[in-house]
Chains A and B, each alone.
Chain A
């Protein structure tokens, strides 16, 4: 997984949450269908998809899905 689109489709097709790019920068509690259950599932999926460990404390502290993407991939922040 490298691109933000890969990240979005992971959430859509593996977690089953119908996200759009607009949801990426919302606070997590404002994302429809998002809760802590998904966060735990997403952690495992991200590690499998990127092939490397993700820092759990950093993901747990992330405020938005875009932040999680940055933590998981080490990509430059979009903003």
Chain B
């Protein structure tokens, strides 16, 4: 009943490799990698990168895939196996495109060149310090370094602009590590300090590109190096130009793995914590509320640090839940009344304390929150519980902590599970909205029929064009929403803004609320018009607000507006994925007829009404609606 031992995960992978079965058994790989110690991951990556990704995708067409193009100023071939392994950890198949090395300027300058024209999801431009030092004269002075740094940053800014103009995909840059081999070449303290300052200013400007260019991500290498990873491999650098150390490339690949996760919309949403020995020290049932450690003692301070980080994540939109083998009342009392507790009952969207198997509790929690278990990150100190959850729910990311609580924070943050390109106003309110949602559910249970409930709920909907404030949220929904997402077109913020600026296209937001409060922006509809036909390019709705008639109200408004502005038909597309099956009949259910397997047409003669329980405010712009 426990996780496979470490040996057997590595052996199993090797056996699959030897027998040529890795492609056929690819869906098993993610679980095997989760059981590997970190030092084994590089080898796994080398074995996996021997596969042709197209062989894997032919056998498993639903497997998510991400195309990554790699360029830079050094030799980067060693990065591909590391990326392969990191993406496979997330169940994502890597399709790598590796350019000639040292050609990043040419690669990124030419929008029609082979490198960019291939249309990768992520374009990695991996730079090492030689990007600067190769341009220094011999001998060089601080003024030379300042000049070269200025030129490089300006060059990268121009390349980022050109990339943005072209649209599509995300450009990934990185900060440049500064090593003693560079600083110590200047013997006077003033110049050396000035170099340190100028170098960091250049890095600061690179990091600022994330703010000024929405299509750019910058991986900050300093925090990886600060964890004790050498920045460079001097010998390999001298002889082969593979300058960045394997350890640093591994840390970099891990960050890219999380960017890839965002590309395929697999961002984690909910952090599920065990309680005894994970959130607090000791066992509540044995030690009592006075006996558990949450502050002030040596171990207590370690748990307090962990609780503070959980609260920090929750403040940025991560849903916090507790699943613990305990009786509920003492747990609630401890969270409510313990004078030194950092996390409180209201920080959790749900506290589950009972004696049932944890995977059952997790499944139920997912249903209650209307989320997939694949959006869960589960932290537990018990190998038994972790093993059981990993086996029963392989889509849950399982984070291992142990009896040394000083490492809890490091372990939790080791992977950027909840990383997102930009936070929106919605994120801060998300935990509160999900808590309200659970209250709604209880309210629902007090009614005999759904219709009675909906009437009492007082649902209101506002449908209007996306604006500057809502555009980031619209992008985020395209990236995060999997279930009610008709075509699963992922749109980074820059792409949403481009559509908003396009006079031929319309981006609508759906905002809703009810007697329990506002839900915020919960949906988006993308349309464009070709002659007398309005095309719905995508229609998506947050899983929080399914099945309340909101989708029908919004669709009804779009159809009526099309008819009122002289359209003859509205055509919608449904592209099936592994997760959007519940909306397969969305168009047929609302009077569309199938043109082919993915295209549906409404002739606007019999438009479905706005459900009676919904108060709809619409502002679709242009002609009367």
Write the residues of chain A forming the contact surface with B, with a CB cutoff of 8 angstroms: 13-17, 33, 35-37, 40-41, 43-44, 56-57, 60
Contact between B240 and A16, CB atoms less than 8 A apart: no
**Are A41 and B240 interface neighbours, CB within 8 A?**
no
In the complex, chain B residues whose CB is within 8 Å of the CB of A17: 50
A57 and B46 form a contact (CB under 8 A): no
- Given known A-B contacts A40-B242, A56-B239, A33 and B81 have beta carbons under 8 A apart: no
Query: With a CB–CB cut-off of 8 A, which chain B residues contact A15?
Result: 46
The answer to whether A36 touches B239 (Cβ under 8 A) is no
Q: Are A40 and B240 touching (Cβ within 8 A)?
A: yes
A56 to B235, CA, bound (A): 8
Contact partner of B236 among A14, A35, A37, A40, CB < 8 A? Answer: A40
Q: Known contacts A37-B80, A40-B77; decide if A60 and B239 are in contact (CB<8 Å).
A: yes
The answer for the CA separation of A17 and B43 in the assembled complex, in Å, is 12
- Contact partner, B43, options A14, A36, A57, Cβ 8 Å: A14
Nearest B residue to A56 via CB reads B239
| Contact A41/B81 with A15-B46, A16-B50 known, Cβ cut-off 8 Å | yes
Bound state CA distance, A57 and B236, in angstroms? 10
Which residue of B has the minimal Cβ distance to A47? B235
Distance (whole angstroms) from the CB of B247 to the closest CB of chain A? 11
Q: Which residues of A contact B240 (CB under 8 A)?
A: 36, 40, 56, 60
**In the complex, are the beta carbons of B46 and A43 less than 8 A apart?**
no
What are 9 of the A-B contact pairs (CB < 8 Å)? A13-B14, A15-B46, A16-B49, A17-B50, A36-B75, A40-B77, A41-B81, A57-B239, A60-B240
- Residues of A with C-beta under 8 A to B235: 56
How near does chain A come to B83, taking the closest CB pair, in angstroms? 13
Closest partner residue, chain B, to A14 (CB atom): B43
Measured between beta carbons, the chain A residues less than 8 angstroms from B77 are 35-37, 40
Pairwise interchain contact B236-A56, C-beta atoms closer than 8 A: yes
CB pair A41 B236 closer than 8 Å:
no
Asked whether B400 is an interface residue with its Cβ less than 8 Å from the other chain, the reply is no
Does B17 have its Cβ within 8 Å of any Cβ on chain A?
Answer: yes
Closest to A53 in B: B235
Give Cα A2–Cα B294 distance, bound, in whole angstroms.
Answer: 54
Q: 11 extra interchain contacts, Cβ-Cβ under 8 A, other than A16-B17, A17-B50?
A: A15-B46, A16-B49, A16-B50, A33-B50, A37-B80, A37-B81, A40-B240, A41-B46, A41-B78, A56-B236, A56-B239
- In the complex, B47 has a CB within 8 A of chain A: yes
Find out whether the CB atom of A43 lies under 8 angstroms from the CB atom of B43.
no
- Which residues of chain B in 21-48 are interfacial with respect to chain A, using CB atoms and an 8 Å cutoff? 43, 46-47
**Knowing A56-B239, A60-B239 touch, does A44 contact B80 (C-beta < 8 A)?**
no
Closest to A38 in B: B46
Tell me the bound Cα distance from A33 to B242 in angstroms: 20
- Give me the 3 closest cross-chain CB pairs, A-B, nearest first: A37-B77, A16-B47, A16-B50
The answer on a CB contact under 8 Å between A40 and B78 is yes
Residues of B within 8 A of A56 (CB): 235-236, 239-240
Q: Is the CB of A40 within 8 A of B75?
A: yes
Interface flag for B246 (CB, 8 Å):
yes
A8 to chain B, nearest CB (A): 14
Do A16 and B239 touch across chains, with their CB atoms under 8 A apart? Answer: no
Please report the C-alpha to C-alpha distance between residue A17 and residue B81 in the assembled complex, in whole angstroms: 13
Give the most central of A35, A41, A57, A60: most B CB within 10 Å.
A41
A56 to B240, CA, bound (A): 9
Considering the complex, give the chain A residue whose CB is closest to the CB of B98. A37
Contacts of A37 in B (CB 8 A): 77-78, 80-81
* Alpha-carbon separation in the docked complex, A43 to B46 (Å): 14
Instruction: Check A43–B236 contact: CB distance below 8 A.
Output: yes
Q: How far is the CB of A68 from chain B (nearest CB, A)?
A: 14
Which residues from chain A contact B50 at a C-beta distance below 8 Å?
16-17, 33
User: Are A14 and B46 CB-contacts (below 8 A) given A40-B240, A56-B236, A60-B239?
Assistant: yes
CB neighbours (8 Å) of B46 from chain A are 14-16, 41
Chain A residues whose CB sits within 8 angstroms of the CB of B43 once the complex forms: 14
User: Nearest residue in A to B236 (C-beta to C-beta)?
Assistant: A40
Q: Which of B46, B81, B236, B246 has the most CB of A within 10 A?
A: B46
CA distance A43 to B246 in the complex (A): 12
Q: Which residue of B lies closest to A39 (CB)?
A: B240
User: CA of A67 to CA of B242 in the docked complex: distance in angstroms?
Assistant: 22
Q: In the complex, how many angstroms separate the beta carbon of A75 from the nearest chain B beta carbon?
A: 22
CA distance A36 to B236 in the complex (A): 12
Q: Which residues of B contact A40 (CB under 8 A)?
A: 75, 77-78, 236, 240, 242
Of all chain B residues, which has the CB nearest A15? Answer: B46
User: Which residues, 52 to 81 on B, are CB-close (under 8 Å) to A?
Assistant: 75, 77-78, 80-81
Considering the complex, give the chain A residue whose CB is closest to the CB of B22.
A16
Closest to B239 in A: A56
Q: Which residues of B have CB within 8 Å of A35?
A: 77
Residues of chain B from 510 to 561 with CB closer than 8 A to chain A in the complex:
none
Residues of B close to A60: CB separation below 8 A: 239-240
B549 to A: closest C-beta gap in Å: 55
Q: How far is the CA of A44 from the CA of B50 in the complex (A)?
A: 18
Name, among A17, A35, A40, A56, the residue most crowded by chain B CB atoms within 10 Å (CB to CB): A40
Q: With A16-B50, A33-B50 known to touch, is A44 a contact of B239 (CB < 8 Å)?
A: no
| Complexed CA–CA distance, A33 and B398 (Å) | 36
Q: Which residues of the other chain, B, contact A13 by a CB distance below 8 angstroms?
A: 14, 17-18
Residues in A whose Cβ lies below 8 Å from that of B47: 16
Expressed in whole angstroms, the minimum distance between the Cβ of A6 and any Cβ of chain B is: 16
- Considering the complex, which residues of chain B in the window 75-106 have a beta carbon less than 8 Å from any beta carbon of chain A? 75, 77-78, 80-81
Give bound CA distance, A14 to B10, whole Å. Answer: 11
Closest Cβ neighbor of A37 among chain B residues: B77
What residues on A are CB-neighbors of B246 within 8 Å?
Answer: 44
Q: For the complex formed, measure the closest distance between the CB of A40 and the CB atoms of chain B, giving whole angstroms.
A: 6
Q: With CB as the reference atom, state the residue of chain B lying closest to A35.
A: B77
A57 vs B81: C-alpha distance in the bound complex, in angstroms? Answer: 24
Shortest A27–chain B CB gap in Å is: 19
CA distance A17 to B239 in the complex (A): 24
In angstroms, Cα B66 to Cα A47, docked, is 34
